[in-house]
A and B are shown apart, each in its own frame.
Chain A
Amino acid sequence: MRLKDHFLKDLKLSSQSFYFYMEIGFAIIIIAVLLIAVPENFDQSMTIYLHAEAPLPMVSIIDEQLNEDTHDELIWVASLSELYDALEENRSSVGLSIVQENQQMVFRFILQGYENERVRNILRTTVETAFAGALIEETENITLTTLQESPQRLSDRLSIVPVILTLNVSFMGLFIIAAYIFLDKQQGTIKALAVTPSHIWEYLLGKMLVLLLTGLFSGIITVVFLAGFNAHYIHLIPLLITTSLFGSALGLFIASFFETMTKAMGWLYITIIVLLLAATSYYMPSFSPIWIRLLPSYPMIFAFREILLDNPNIPFIYATTVGFGFAALITFILANHRFKNNITV
């Protein structure tokens, strides 16, 4: 009953504050930007500068073959020095020089220089093997097995949604709940708690529920506008609930170590930036060191991605949901324990 009163009081105060409408406005702006300014898929083609000193029929065959095999932009240049100049001008391009030397065609790939040895080995071996394919006997001793029957890849635009849901919805409470607590402290209203029958946990949970409601609202409108009927809302809602509660509980726990918002702000920002690092492994799955995999934001982003797939991994979504439910509970208990001793100080 007291929890309900706390929740309703905080909800009423929030709905009258600038912040509540700003969160909704922020979600609407993100939706508008993604729908209007972000293309469905990014152009990931690169520029390849080509130079050849070989018989014309050979050059024509190479040009034809390259145009067939690649979506990259191919630009022929007149000389090798022009090729080097072009690479220095455009640092995201590569070069290919084809020269005939002693009855041998030399394919010289000219990279920028930051590519490591493994990248060079891959390039050298794949090109050599592909060219040698015509010379060596066909092999049938390599087979490919794919575990998923109909794998699906999200569009580049839709791939942004899990990151937004993680950082702007689930971890939204991280800052805001701390600001709420410090505001109550500064205004002295928190001292009233000491003379009421209310428990600290009811007061804290009331605030968490307000943020949960705001998060659910902004999360659902984001998914509705960007994914439409393709998202699995039935799984999204429990995931949003537990991750949002965890974000708020984490914010409470961090805030419990500080006396003012300004003192807590630095640590809250550092926390959100560290959590943001999980997005690097989300966009670059071949880079996923153990310390990134241990960040709570890592499974969270991938679980939100599953929500948007036609055939989501249901056990993974619910394992994440339940895991964050437990994590929220433990973090909340710790935060409550700390606040019991210092909230009215």
Chain B
Amino acid sequence: MIKRIIAVTLRDLKSGLRDFMVIYIMIAPFLLALILRGLIPSASAATINMAVLESTPQETIDYLSQYGNVETFATEDQIIQRIGRLDDIYGIIIHNNNYEIIAEGNESIDASETIAYILLSKTQSLDLERPFKVEIDDVGWTLSPLKQYGANFLIIFGSVFGGMIILLSMVEEKMSNTLSAINVSALSKWEFVIGKGFLGFIIPIIGTSGTLWILDLHDIHFGMMFVTLIAIACISVVVGFSIGVVNTEPIGAVASMKMIFLPIMASVFGAIFLPPQWHVVLYWSPFYWAFLSVDAIILEQALWSDILLNTSLIIALTSFVFFLLRNRIRQGLN
């Protein structure tokens, strides 16, 4: 039996390598993690953007650079034009000893008051004896929210890549009519399903390992992550088969795959942005439980009891979907 399962997997691997599909899908999570890694430093450093005249004293430009990015322009009109562009940037123009802050008015966060305080701090002597002192300290947690949620999203999204491998190989079998040949071979349906599902199961695990490595998440609990990954890989297999069996051509398969983005996006962004009392609307989604587990693991706050509970829920939900679709899958394999 094992030999027949391996034969199905190896055949898919060979076919996938021939048209580079397996390679593309394996590289994709690594590539996305590299993009995220490149994005994190500049996105995390973004604070306030300011535009000043080239004639502004260098000392003022250096002072403002301690708080945000400073761009210089030759004329006031150029500054106005720059402010009118799509991103958020404030103009600062010095007239004698007076400062004019220019805002477009539609900024996503109003930073004009903050800039006024920064300029006020420069213009007024604050060195006088004050009855207060402001200090800044931290608890030494250097993982930014962008990295925390970005890594989590990539790990959950990895299940799509695994599903895609199964889905495409199923559609290919149908289009080349090889499925009917398999039906008259010694291979049982379950051996075929396991053999087909193996690549889809293993790809999210490889992708996640790469994501964790590229994003330098070395201090997490790997045991808990492995258990969670098994659950995510189960989602991947169910996604691949449930879409693969109902589609006979690539257009439907691509469109159906797009449908999977919706529960993923809804689960991840819902878990991040919705207030806790609204999370109940996401309980149906295995991606939501996977997000909770990965988030706790990345934050190094995970408990085995929570991980096992979330994993059980993911497996129960995916098994339920598999159970509901069992007849459809059986028919689709005929």
Contacts and interface: CB of A to CB of B under 8 A. Distances in A.
Contacts of A2: none
A154 B86 CA distance: 15
B252 A18 contact: yes
A299 B86 contact: yes
Interface in B160-189: 164, 168, 172, 175
B278 A147 contact: no
Nearest to B43: A287
Interface string A114-155: 111111111111111111110111010111111111011100
Contact of A145 (B43, B87, B101, B134): B101
B255 A109 contact: no
B68 A277 contact: no
Interface string B111-140: 010101111110111101011111111111
A139 B116 CA distance: 10
B145 to A, nearest CB: 7
Interface string A266-301: 110110011001001101111111000100001100
Contacts of A135: 128, 130
B20 interface: yes
B105 to A, nearest CB: 3
A89 interface: yes
Given A118-B47, A118-B66, A176-B255, A288 B87 contact: yes
Interface in A171-205: 175-176, 179-180, 182-183, 186
B44 interface: yes
A110 to B, nearest CB: 5
Contact of A125 (B87, B106, B121, B125): B121
Interface string B35-68: 1000100111111110000000000000000111
A3 interface: no
A272 B144 CA distance: 25
Nearest to A313: B84
Contact of A17 (B148, B251, B281): B251
B87 A281 contact: yes
Given A84-B139, A266-B28, A287-B43, A153 B131 contact: no
Given A114-B141, A122-B118, A136-B124, A286 B136 contact: no
Interface in A74-130: 84, 87-89, 91-92, 101, 103-130
A265 B84 contact: no
Nearest to B119: A142
B306 interface: no
Contacts of A139: 120, 123-124
A39 interface: yes
A26 B258 contact: yes
Q: Which of B83, B134, B138, B142 has the most CB of A within 10 A?
A: B134
Contact of B133 (A107, A126, A261): A107
A17 B138 contact: no
B114 A126 contact: yes
A70 interface: no
Nearest to A135: B130
Interface stretch (B3-11, B269-277, B307-315, B325-333): B269-277
Contacts of A121: 66-67
A281 to B, nearest CB: 7
A212 B272 CA distance: 34
A124 B118 contact: no
B108 A132 contact: no
A77 B326 CA distance: 54
A147 B134 contact: no
A92 B272 CA distance: 11
B134 A124 contact: yes
B254 A132 contact: no
State which size class the interface on B falls in.
35 or more
Contact of A30 (B109, B131, B262): B262
A174 B22 CA distance: 21
B90 to A, nearest CB: 9
A109 B137 contact: yes
A283 B125 CA distance: 37
Contacts of B281: 36-37
A293 B87 CA distance: 9
Given A144-B116, A287-B43, A106 B133 contact: yes
A116 B252 CA distance: 47
A294 to B, nearest CB: 12
A56 interface: no
A112 B141 contact: yes
B143 interface: yes
Contacts of A179: 249-251, 253-254
Interface string B73-110: 00000001001101110000000011111111111110
A262 interface: yes
Nearest to A110: B137
Interface of B: 16, 19-21, 24-25, 27-28, 31-32, 35, 39, 42-49, 66-68, 80, 83-84, 86-88, 97-109, 112, 114, 116-121, 123-126, 128, 130-145, 148, 164, 168, 172, 175, 247, 249-256, 258-259, 262, 266, 270, 273-275, 278, 281, 299, 301
Shortest Cβ-Cβ A-B pairs, 3 listed: A266-B24, A151-B105, A148-B105
28 contacts: A19-B251, A22-B256, A26-B258, A33-B266, A36-B281, A37-B281, A42-B274, A111-B136, A116-B45, A120-B136, A126-B117, A129-B121, A135-B130, A136-B125, A139-B124, A141-B98, A142-B98, A142-B120, A142-B123, A147-B102, A147-B103, A148-B106, A176-B251, A179-B249, A263-B20, A284-B43, A287-B43, A299-B86
Interface of A: 17-19, 22-23, 26, 29-30, 33, 36-39, 42-43, 84, 87-89, 91-92, 101, 103-133, 135-137, 139, 141-149, 151-153, 175-176, 179-180, 182-183, 186, 260-263, 265-267, 269-270, 273-274, 277, 280-281, 283-289, 293, 298-299, 302
